[in-house]
């Protein structure tokens, strides 16, 4: 029989795991998908500056591994009122071959806005998220300035 004491003990154990998961991330980072920690920049930067910033703080420009991860970080970006933000996906190395910017693994999950990617002007090689257009993606010039999300 499950007693009230056992239930209390279970609640304490689970609260501890919640606490451990929350505080695994350093100050300013949010816990999320598969135990990762996420940082949301308060400033805009080019794609390459965003990459080096994330590296400097011990992470990488966020790489989207699944809809669940994308959905989690985009909802947080919406709360922070980011109109757009960079994610770590590029086709800089080979036009039309989208890969993760840091690990260079092939990107298999996509969520393009209608008509994208269009490589406008033949020089759009980096991916930004439109938070206000159904959380979809656009290929954009890498020298544009956007807020961004780091992951570690
Ligand atoms: Ca990821
Ligand atoms: Ca391109
Ligand atoms: Ca585009």
Q: What is the 3-state secondary structure (H, E, C) of 56-116?
A: HCCCEECCCCCHHHHHHHHHHHHHCCCCEEEEEEECCCCCCCCEECCCCCECCCCCECCCC
Is the domain of 59 the same as that of 4? no
Q: How far apart are CA 50 and CA 77, in angstroms?
A: 16
Same domain, 48 and 23: no
Let me know whether 24 and 37 are in one domain: no
Domain containing 127 equals: 32-151
Ligand 1 center to 70 CA (angstroms): 8
pLDDT of residue 56: 98
54 with 12, same domain: the answer is no
Tell me, in angstroms, the distance from the centre of ligand 1 to residue 151's CA.
7
pLDDT band at residue 24, thresholds of 50, 70 and 90? confident
Give me the mean pLDDT over the 69-95 stretch: 97
Residue 13 has pLDDT above 70, yes or no: no
Q: Quote the tokens at residue 59.
A: 């992470």
Residue in the structure block whose two tokens are 């992470």: 59
Average pLDDT for 100-114: 97
Centre of ligand 3 to C-alpha 134, Å, is: 16
Supply the mean pLDDT for the chain. Answer: 91
pLDDT (0 to 100) of residue 127: 98
Is 41 in the same domain as 111? yes
The whole-angstrom separation of Cα 121 and Cα 10 is: 59
Count of domains for the chain: 2
Instruction: Quote the ligand 3 centre to 139 CA distance (angstroms).
Output: 4
Same-domain status, 44 and 77 = yes
Give the global pTM.
0.85
Enter the DSSP assignment of 133: S
Do 51 and 10 sit in the same domain of this protein?
A: no
Mean pLDDT across the stretch 139-149? 98
Cα(116) to centroid(ligand 1), Å? 22
Q: Taking 80 as the threshold, does the pLDDT of residue 146 lie above it?
A: yes
Examine the domain organization and report whether 11 and 59 are in the same domain.
no
């Amino acid at each position: 029989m499950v007693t009230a004491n056992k239930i209390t003990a279970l609640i304490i154990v689970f609260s501890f795991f919640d606490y451990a998961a929350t505080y695994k991330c350093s100050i300013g980072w949010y816990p999320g998908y598969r135990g990762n920690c996420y940082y949301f920049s308060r400033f805009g930067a080019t794609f390459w500056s965003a990459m080096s910033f994330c590296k400097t703080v011990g992470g990488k420009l966020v790489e989207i591994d699944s809809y669940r991860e994308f959905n989690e970080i985009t909802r947080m970006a919406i709360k922070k009122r980011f109109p757009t933000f960079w994610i770590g996906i590029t086709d800089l190395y080979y036009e039309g071959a989208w890969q993760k910017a840091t690990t260079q693994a092939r990107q298999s999950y996509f969520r393009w806005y209608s008509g994208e990617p269009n490589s406008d002007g033949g020089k759009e090689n980096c991916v930004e998220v439109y938070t206000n257009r159904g959380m979809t993606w656009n290929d954009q010039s890498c020298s544009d300035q956007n807020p961004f999300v780091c992951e570690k």
